[in-house]
Amino acid sequence: MSEVILSVTGLEKSYDEVIAVAGLDFEIAKGECFGLLGPNGAGKSTTLAMLEGMEDPTQGTVQYYGGPRPPDYQTRVGIQFQATALQDFLTPFDNLKLFSSFYDDPIPMDQLIDQFRLQEFLHRDSRHLSGGQRQRLLLALALVHNPEIVFLDEPTTGLDPRSRRDLWDVVSALKADGRTLILTTHYMEEAEILCDELVILSHGKTLLQGSPKQLIADAGVSDLDTLFLSLTGETLVKTQEVID
């Protein structure tokens, strides 16, 4: 295994009485695409927020190269949130300029515009972008400072099949660049194509961890979708029994 960039130990998060994440342990290798899978409410986004440094864990730790996260951790990560509004009336060009100005050494705007194919809608009001265009812009904004780790929270949710495949191409290109990608999704096909390593979550706990190929082979099923459906259906009941 290559060098571990993030290691998670005993990670928990609760909000009042609700336990969102109930003790996770895993490691993420540098340069891999790591997927967090699970049904809605499984704790994927909360886990991601703690890895991003946007939320503090109730218990447990997230280590960066085996030590505490440095004060400039935010400049080493790029985040594409699940639902992000942008300022009204600003165009993708204005937004790129704004977000570039937050960093000392941003990627040249022309490069981002080419890489994420923003040219055709570069000067359009951001409120009038299609879902796919918007996601490409948000991804460009997350990459503006050339981060080492990129977090993608359900990047293709709500997109049509073509836009989804477009975005997969973009994500694959990022992966080929050698960046570490951490994504959440509930599209099994997406996880199977993009991810090197997966954690399947339910009720804030790990159900399974491994590479997609290994998980499919171990379970003796044809694809990840079949594995996931059988697994979550069975385990949801068990988890509910524990809660009861």
Partner 1 sequence: MISIMRSVRRMKAVFFARNLEYLRDRASFGWNLVFPVLIVFALAVVFSGPPRALFIVTAVTSDSLPDLLDFPGIETISSDRSKALDRLSRQQTDLVVEVVEDSVLYWVNGNSASGAILELLLEYTESRPLERGETDGEAIRYVDWVVPGILGMNMMYSALWGVGYVVVRYRQSGYLRRLKATPLTKFEFLSAQVLSRLLVTLTASAIVFVGTNLILDYKMVGSLGLLFLIALVGGLAMITLGLAIACRTESKEFADGLLNAITFPMLLLSDVWFSLDGSPHWVQIIAQVLPLTHVLEAARAVMLDDAGMADITIHLAILVGFCTVGMALSIKLFKW
Residue ranges in contact with partner 1 by CB under 8 A:
52, 54, 72, 74-75, 77, 79, 81, 83-87, 99, 102-103, 141
Strand stretches in the chain, DSSP E: 4-15, 18-29, 33-37, 59-64, 77-80, 149-153, 180-185, 197-202, 205-210
Residue placing its CB nearer to partner 1 in the complex, 95 or 156: 95
Q: How far is the CB of 238 from partner 1 (least distance, A)?
A: 34
Residue placing its CB nearer to partner 1 in the complex, 86 or 181: 86
Q: How far is the CB of 102 from partner 1 (least distance, A)?
A: 4
Residue placing its CB nearer to partner 1 in the complex, 75 or 235: 75
In sequence order, which residues have a C-beta less than 8 Å from that of residue 20 and are 6 or more positions away? Answer: 13, 14, 43, 46, 204
Residue placing its CB nearer to partner 1 in the complex, 63 or 75: 75
User: Residues of 94-103 as b/e, b for ≥16 C-beta within 10 angstroms?
Assistant: bbbeebbeee
Residue placing its CB nearer to partner 1 in the complex, 37 or 141: 141
DSSP state of 235: H
Q: How far is the CB of 143 from partner 1 (least distance, A)?
A: 12
Q: How far is the CB of 79 from partner 1 (least distance, A)?
A: 5
Q: How far is the CB of 91 from partner 1 (least distance, A)?
A: 16
Per-residue tokens: 40: 């809605």
Beta-carbon neighbour count of residue 63 at 10 Å?
15
Q: How far is the CB of 35 from partner 1 (least distance, A)?
A: 20
**HEC string for 27-92:** EEECCCEEEEECCCCCCHHHHHHHHHCCCCCCEEEEEECCECCCCCHHHHEEEECCCCCCCCCCCH
Residue placing its CB nearer to partner 1 in the complex, 83 or 243: 83
The Cα-based distances of 61 to 57, 158, 164, 168 in angstroms read: 7, 33, 33, 31
